[in-house]
Structure 1
Amino acid sequence: MSKKNAFYAQSGGVTAVINASAAGVIEAAREHGDVIGKVYAGRDGIVGALTEDLIDTSEESAGAIAALRHTPSGAFGSARYKLKGLEESRAQYERLIEVFKAHDIGYFFYNGGGDSADTCLKISQLSEKMGYPIQAIHIPKTMDNDLPHTDCSPGFGSVAKYTAVSIREAGFDLASMCKTSTKVFILEVMGRHAGWTAAAGGLAAEAEGQDPHILLFPEIAFDEDKFLARVEDCVKRYGYCTIVASEGVRNADGEFLSDAGNTDAFGHKQLGGMAPTLAELIQTRLGHKYHYAIADYLMRAARHIASQTDVDQAYAVGRAAVEYAAAGKSGIMVSIVRESDEPYQWSIGEAPLEEVANVEKMMPREFISEDGFHITDAARRYLKPLIAGESYPPYADGLPQYARLKKVAVKKKLKDTFEI
């Protein structure tokens, strides 16, 4: 096998542990110097490849790369930039191959969700047709936990931990003040189509009456009267009510309750805020004083409370991608295989990209209580191991210390430019 360089890119919404995957890729590639040359990272994700804006990771010290394991967000920059089908945007794919060829890149590691898996698959297929084979490996990442053929998605476990911890702490706060003050607290969490993150909040309730009292999932149609009746019942029984609501809650007609009327680069609906929508409903119909919080970027950037399981898995899938590539594999996604629940044991596997691309894994109905407002024991068995363990970053002067890379640019070789 001839020695080729590798290209690594981060895609879509970043997570608290995506950089751990980057560290896994770069460190493993350095160990495979016999078949892999330099690792170039795309500045701002796939956009960096299209515009030939590459970062030479060989300029980063071993210490800086190791520090990525405890650094949140996307160290090299990410992008919400969707490449369409080959017939619609063939020029974009051909441009990628052109850039890869110019920089002697034979390995493509794409770290992202379902759309990224689709791009990875298409590059693998087109490169073969163009006579410049690229070994394309997809590295799973999404806090939404909606990738198929993997037990979980790196990035989810830490968001799940953040959600469960946050609603437990907020519940203690509310309980101490509810007699004369706020009666309802709503925590809005990410999750457009799948309710995994909202479900994770349910782990905080280990006994009857503990927080959260209500969970709202995209998989369960929102019934206004039923919801308000449950809120009122909780206030009467416990003195207050805590709610974890997914941003993607829909009504019986399948419409988002918080549709802001816009779409993003992937064609996804822009959601305008589930928490204030629910709060206004509660205040208008029930008259209760409320507070709400929209976790948003805070939950996916919260490296200070990351799950050790999540960090370990994120790093492992990055290393495995390189091991698979060095073994000659392509057109696959690295997967996490659950061996057992208690004790939680897992291993690394693989899944064909044809079965991963553009497929969303929803919450199974057996994970949601019969009334639709909480999680079942089956969900708890699945979720608990994913938030296990603490992996604190190093602190100095009271603040976490994160990696700040040099991000040295690779000299461009192509004369033409590409507009995105």
Structure 2
Amino acid sequence: MAAKNAFYAQSGGVTAVINSTACGLIQEARRHPDQIGKVYAGRDGIIGALTEDLIDTSLETDEDIARLRHTPGGAFGSCRYKLKSLEQHKAQYERLIEVFKAHDIGYFFYNGGNDSMDTAWKVSQIAEKMGYPVVCVGVPKTVDNDLPHTDCCPGFGSVAKYVATSIREAGYDVASMARTSTKIFVLEVMGRHAGWITAACGLASGNAGEPPHILLFPEVPFDPERFLARVDECVKQYGYCTVAVSEGLSDAAGKLIAESGTKDAFGHSQLGGVGQVVAQLIKDKLGYKYHWALADYLQRAARHLASKTDIEQAHALGVAAVNLALQGKNAVMATVERLADRPYRWQIGDAPLAEIANVERKMLPEFISADGFHITEACRTYLQPLIEGEEPPPYRNGLPDYIRLKNIAVPKKLEAFAI
């Protein structure tokens, strides 16, 4: 049987290590020329498949593909574009199969989070209904760390390392000036419904009184009075107070503290500014001078501070995705299975996409302290190995030396398709 081509796409918010997954996947595919012909990447994610805008990765050198391992962002472009239901928008799925047929694609690898796993699951369903043989494998990626059936998600460990480092360093700054100047520092981090990134900030606090003093999770309804009392207590006891807050912080009624009123392409409420809201509340009620910061894209693009564990797992999952596909495992996602905490040991596994699509894994109750303002020792045990190790990128002229691929398009064979 002639080798089939593969389609790979990156989806959703990118990370410091998603290209490490692409690196592993493409490298492994090149080791099996008898089974996989070329790897085509979708330009800007699944949109590249719908518009037949495919990138021929075979035109990139082995050396440049290897450099993806230490390059942040999405090398082929990503997107926030969720395919609708099979029943209502069958034409989109039929278009994907048409493109796959036209380019002899027999493998579909989708590298993303919850919504992306839903897309991979739906593609596997429509392919089966249309009688077109394509093996669909999901590859996890999300800084939110909220995919089920995997110990952790590539991208999270590096964000965790970045935010823990940032709030520790900012804490030293605030402590230096607290007697005569700023007494409050608030860091807003990502996390719509799950507080894993906020929890990671807690790793910076090794002993009582060390920053961050307060963590605000989306899993814990925000109580302004309890919060302000705790802030005041910290300032009186330590001279200052540092706070890490998830963008998805909500009140007891479930209303987001900072919701702009707009929606993103996935239909999620656009968030931002909760750090300023919380900081201003402290100023208004307690009178303390504050500074606040929004980690935003910095936290997920910081390849210079990436976790070695994260890099290695991201790469290994890319390799595993190819091997799962070659074993004929369809409609599954490659996963990380934890074998031990100390020393941290893990292996690759897999889980059905049907059990992962659109399912969010939130912080475990036993990971949040009894007062709701910090992490427990159990949480620290879980998080610690995920941020460990360093594998810095090469530097040139004092700055990280990253790669931009040629990304040459494959000639189109079909008529244009509007999305």
TM-score range, shorter chain: over 0.9
Using the aligned pairs only, state the percent identity.
66
SS in 1 for 2:95: helix
Residue type at the aligned position of 1:314: A
SS in 2 for 1:49: helix
- Once the two structures are TM-superposed, the CA of residue 326 in structure 1 deviates from its matched residue by 1.0
Q: TM-score, normalised by structure 2?
A: 0.99
Counterpart position of 1:176: 176
Counterpart position of 2:117: 117
Q: How does 1:197-208 map to 2 (within 5 A)?
A: 197-208=197-208
SS in 2 for 1:360: coil
- Once the two structures are TM-superposed, the CA of residue 281 in structure 1 deviates from its matched residue by 0.6
SS in 2 for 1:7: strand
Counterpart position of 1:68: 68
Q: How does 1:182-193 map to 2 (within 5 A)?
A: 182-193=182-193
Counterpart position of 1:212: 212
C-alpha distance in 2, partners of 1:131/1:378?
48
SS in 2 for 1:6: strand
Counterpart position of 1:419: 418
C-alpha distance in 2, partners of 1:218/1:2?
51
Residue type at the aligned position of 1:293: A
Counterpart position of 1:52: 52
Counterpart position of 2:348: 348
- Once the two structures are TM-superposed, the CA of residue 272 in structure 1 deviates from its matched residue by 3.1
Deviations 1:232-254 (A, max 9, x none): 11000000000010001000000
Deviations 1:221-272 (A, max 9, x none): 0000000000011000000000010001000000100011111111101113
Counterpart position of 1:80: 80
Counterpart position of 1:21: 21
Residue type at the aligned position of 1:396: R
SS in 2 for 1:339: strand
Counterpart position of 1:295: 295
What is the RMSD computed on CA atoms of the aligned residues?
0.6
SS in 1 for 2:405: coil
C-alpha distance in 1, partners of 2:106/2:71?
28
SS in 1 for 2:386: helix
Runs of 4+ in 1 over 2 A off after TM superposition: none
- Once the two structures are TM-superposed, the CA of residue 2 in structure 1 deviates from its matched residue by 4.0
- Once the two structures are TM-superposed, the CA of residue 128 in structure 1 deviates from its matched residue by 1.4
- Once the two structures are TM-superposed, the CA of residue 391 in structure 1 deviates from its matched residue by 1.3
Counterpart position of 2:380: 380
SS in 1 for 2:242: strand
SS in 2 for 1:361: coil
Counterpart position of 2:103: 103
Which runs of 5 or more structure 2 residues have no equivalent in the other structure?
none
Aligned residues: 419
Counterpart position of 2:226: 226
Deviations 1:107-164 (A, max 9, x none): 0000000111111011111111112121000000000000000000000000000010
Q: Is the 8 A contact 1:216 1:373 kept in 2?
A: yes
Q: Is the 8 A contact 1:195 1:219 kept in 2?
A: yes
Deviations 1:249-299 (A, max 9, x none): 000000100011111111101113111111111111111100010000000
Deviations 1:56-115 (A, max 9, x none): 000000010000000001000000000011011111010000001000000000000011
SS in 2 for 1:179: coil
SS in 2 for 1:34: coil
Deviations 1:336-367 (A, max 9, x none): 00000001000000000110000000000100
C-alpha distance in 1, partners of 2:193/2:94?
32
Residue type at the aligned position of 1:404: R
Q: Is the 8 A contact 1:279 1:290 kept in 2?
A: yes
Counterpart position of 2:155: 155
Does 2:396 correspond to 1:392? no
C-alpha distance in 2, partners of 1:279/1:13?
27
C-alpha distance in 1, partners of 2:40/2:290?
49
Deviations 1:304-355 (A, max 9, x none): 0000000000000000000111111110000000000001000000000110
Counterpart position of 1:338: 338
Residue type at the aligned position of 1:259: E
C-alpha distance in 1, partners of 2:70/2:253?
43
Counterpart position of 1:31: 31
Deviations 1:387-416 (A, max 9, x none): 0001100001110000110001100011x1
Counterpart position of 1:280: 280
- Once the two structures are TM-superposed, the CA of residue 373 in structure 1 deviates from its matched residue by 0.2
Does 2:314 correspond to 1:314? yes
C-alpha distance in 1, partners of 2:329/2:36?
14
Counterpart position of 1:248: 248
C-alpha distance in 2, partners of 1:353/1:327?
16
Does 2:257 correspond to 1:257? yes
- Once the two structures are TM-superposed, the CA of residue 29 in structure 1 deviates from its matched residue by 0.2
